[in-house]
Amino acid sequence: MKITIHIKTQTLELIGAGGNLMRRYQVSTGAKGVGEENGSFCTPRGRHVIRAKIGAGQLANTVFVKRRPTGEIYTPELGAQHPGRDWILTRILWLSGCESGFNRSGSCDTMRRYVYIHGTPDSTPLGIPGSRGCVRMRNADLIALFDLVVTGTEVQIVA
């Protein structure tokens, strides 16, 4: 099983062991485009793996800060109280680059950049770039994906 994220179409595909398409989800990647450098707020390209799965069993819309649940559940009212906050909700699939010098090590390390596949408020537009470099998904879609993949699952991000 592997994941392919297509920047051009803003979709995430889950591909089964036999190469068959199992699921396709709409996502939102980096508003600043693609790029690997630390501080760029771009979505990194290339080969990655899911290094950690965080949030199993948490409620949908659970708010995470620094990969830990805050005890908050996102609501539009909470969102209005914290405009501009980068909401990381429900589950986290933490990505690690596999290509030394491109998306792993030094100033281009995907994991050290804290690039995740994570949930987002239902009001957040998907299908267009809009994140700070992560891959945003609908919470229900993320829960379904989270339950299907394991740590070490390959993730390819292509422009």
At 38 the three-state DSSP class reads coil
**How sure is the predictor about 128, in pLDDT bands with cuts at 50, 70 and 90?**
very high
Ordered DSSP codes for 135-153: EEE-HHHHHHHHHH--TT-
Cα–Cα distances (Å) from 104 to 38, 49, 113, in that order, read 11, 11, 10
74-126 pLDDT, tens digit each: 999 999 999 989 999 999 999 999 999 999 999 999 999 999 999 999 999 99
The β-bridge relationship of strands 11-15 and 21-26 is antiparallel
Interatomic CA distance for residues 97 and 32, integer angstroms? 19
For the chain, list the domains and their CATH numbers.
2-158 (2.40.440.10)
Chain centroid to Cα 86, Å, comes to 13
9-57 pLDDT, tens digit each: 999 999 998 999 999 999 999 999 999 999 999 999 999 999 999 999 9
Cα–Cα distances (Å) from 159 to 41, 73, 78, 110, in that order, read 16, 33, 34, 16
End-to-end Cα distance, the chain: 21
Interatomic CA distance for residues 15 and 151, integer angstroms? 15
Global pTM reads 0.97
Contact between 42 and 29 under an 8 Å Cβ cutoff? The reply is no
Contact between 1 and 103 under an 8 Å Cβ cutoff? The reply is no
User: Quick one: pLDDT at residue 138?
Assistant: 98
User: Quick one: pLDDT at residue 31?
Assistant: 98
